[in-house]
Structure 1
């Protein structure tokens, strides 16, 4: 049963990486690294961390834009600004920030067997790439792009990375995504199925990109969002929750 969420707080990791952290109010199942969409660490992402904390997870979100000097891309610039900022990132630096979040969870007493990752938009890309690079208990990608063409130096397209997944992976995609084609969704599903761990890719016929973003009425699809979130929580509990 979920509890009332606790507010997310901003801290600085020992290596200097800014992190947003949200501790669970009650019993802790494990830890989840939460990776931002292209807009950065927004109020929406804070709400995601708080929702995970309400479900018993220690949530930590690295601020991937900290080298650019901000946490959240310009709201005035809209999606065009976010896309430009996203492409300014570097794969090696992204990996370092994810590892900083993993280190924070480890020093907070979260075992590797109970450490998961979840990401949205470009964060979904990072979640899969991280799960192919390191052993994680579970990884969840909400509409992660760069399926067949890479975003960043140092991170290959997802169809190339997916066969090397080192643990369980869940993909959640919209079939009306203007950035990810149905053919790419099918190819990613097939590629992930060849990995050693259990994988599943769910696609929603009436949803497009960012369908979980409840702060964006134009793209938010409540039915798909609710089903995807429920599946994500179930997946995390099944693969990453500490056994009592």
Structure 2
């Protein structure tokens, strides 16, 4: 008999922030909790699948709906990616921090303390992941091609190259070397900035991969080899920094 699959569900945090949450299937107790921060498109089927993959690996995943103040879950599909890149500029540093903290609070209520919580983000979510790890003492943070490396996106959130030396916990960056939104010089600058932090950091870059190379719902940009390697590294990073033998109560 096999375990029931992990299925994402939508619920509200105590403060009302909408979340997509996915727990390990088959009644398994989570090993810890991971906040998942979506890309500029919002809570898409792809993002839900990421939550399910994390849950299958044993983690309790919680993804805040960052567009909830605009009354939507994801950006209008008709607008495509260029529209989403503009839509994300409605966010503010204060609003992002509040929504991420609501997701962290949900994980804490499930029994995950600072040493059992991590954050992973994609695209602008990767930016949020690193920024969060400079203000909260999390066990790990992972950024898939987070932008705003040298020029900020939002008021109240400095560029990543400025923030990175202040990381409070281990950080892993996963970037494509052919990203039209993040130059090689910026990747190098972010790697050097993160290396100045007083915590373990690593930035891995992939030749032949561009922005959103992990998005398997976008054939034009998806790079299977880079995506598989990056995902394996992300899971290993979580295992290394949160992978205690015990589970959440």
TM-score for both structures, normalised by structure 1:
0.98
Alignment-derived partner of residue 83 in structure 1: 85
Q: How many residues of Structure 1 are paired with residues of Structure 2 in the alignment?
A: 243
CA deviation vs aligned residue, 1:159-189 (integer Å, no higher than 9, x gap): 0000000000000000000000000000000
Pair 149,4 (structure 1): closer, same or farther in 2 beyond 3 Å: farther
In 2, Cα distance between the equivalents of 1:126 and 1:14? 21
Alignment-derived partner of residue 15 in structure 2: 15
Superposition pairs of residues 26-45 of structure 1, within 5 angstroms? 26-45=28-47
Superposition pairs of residues 122-141 of structure 1, within 5 angstroms? 122-141=124-143
Alignment-derived partner of residue 71 in structure 1: 73
Deviation at 1:4, TM superposition (A): 6.0
Gaps of 5+ in 2: none
Gaps of 5+ in 1: none
Give 3-state SS (helix, strand or coil) of 1:77's partner. Answer: helix
Superposition pairs of residues 60-209 of structure 1, within 5 angstroms? 60-209=62-211
Alignment-derived partner of residue 53 in structure 1: 55
In 2, Cα distance between the equivalents of 1:85 and 1:168? 30
Say if 1:112 and 1:136, in contact at 8 Å, map to a contact too: yes
Give 3-state SS (helix, strand or coil) of 1:133's partner. Answer: coil
In 1, Cα distance between the equivalents of 2:42 and 2:4? 25
> Cα RMSD over matched residues?
1.2
TM-score for both structures, normalised by structure 2:
0.96
In 2, Cα distance between the equivalents of 1:99 and 1:228? 26
In 1, Cα distance between the equivalents of 2:94 and 2:9? 26
Farther off after superposition, 82-91 or 58-67: 82-91
